[in-house]
Amino acid sequence: MMRRLFGVCTMFLALTLAAPAYADENQEQITQYRTMLSEQDALDAKNVAQQDRQLAAKWLQEAEVLLANGDGDAADKRLRRVEFAIDLIRAMVASADIRTAAEAQEAAAFKGPELLEQLQAEVDALKTKRADLQQELRKLQ
């Protein structure tokens, strides 16, 4: 009889203590995700993932509300969506960055001959000017 009573008490204590610990963990995760979204917002120069960020922010807020209402399962689902959404956003922003770099390099490659021509003209003009200045300097001295 005593053993059964001890078991019941142990289970009661475990459940009472575990529930707040579980809630704290989720709250910490929400904060972490919010920071991540904010970082991605700063990195997304071309706003390629704006809609997904807004969606993730909405889910995050829903998770917070659900958590506050004690609906831990529903909050977990929202947080999982947010986790996947952050992965997606990172991939999209990285992709956009690489594409931007590629476009810049393509433009540079395209302008290569033009740049060569421009540099050659500058070099020729500078040579002429150098010769003129040398001649004037000789006269002045």
Partner 1 sequence: MKIDPRWLFAVLFMIACGPGEKTTELKELERILQDPNAAAVKEAPGASKPYREARQFRRLAVEAWDEGNDDLSREYAALGTLRYRTAEAMADQVAAKERLDAANAKVSTSNPEIEALSQERNKLATEVAQLTQQVEIARNQQTARLQQQNLSNSSQKSTDKRSAIIAKVKDAETAQKGAEAVDAATHAPEKYNRALNMLKSVRSTLDQGQASDQMLQQLSESITMFASAKVEAQPLFNTAQAKSNPEERRTQLRSAASSKLGSEFVISEALGARLILPELFATGSNSISAGRKSYVADVATLLSSYDEFSVFIEGYTSKVGNPTENLGLSQNRARAVRDALTAAGIDSSRIEVRGYGNDRPRYPDNARNERVEILVTRPN
- Judged by DSSP in three states, 82 sits in helix
Q: Which is nearer to partner 1, 10 or 134 (CB)?
A: 134
Residue 46 as a binder of partner 1 (CB under 8 A): the answer is no
Rounded Cα distance between 37 and 32, Å, is 9
Q: Which residues of 91-102 are buried (b: 16+ CB within 10 A; e: fewer)?
A: ebbeebeeeeee
Residue 122 as a binder of partner 1 (CB under 8 A): the answer is yes
Contacts of 63 by beta carbon, 8 Å cutoff, 6+ apart: 26, 30, 74, 75, 78, 79, 82
By rule CB under 8 A, what string of x and - marks binding of each residue 67-106 to partner 1? ----------x--xx--xx-xx--xx-xx--xx-xx--xx
Footprint of partner 1 (CB under 8 A) = 77, 80-81, 84-85, 87-88, 91-92, 94-95, 98-99, 101-102, 105-106, 108-109, 112-113, 115-116, 119-120, 122-123, 126-127, 129-130, 133-134, 136-137, 140-141
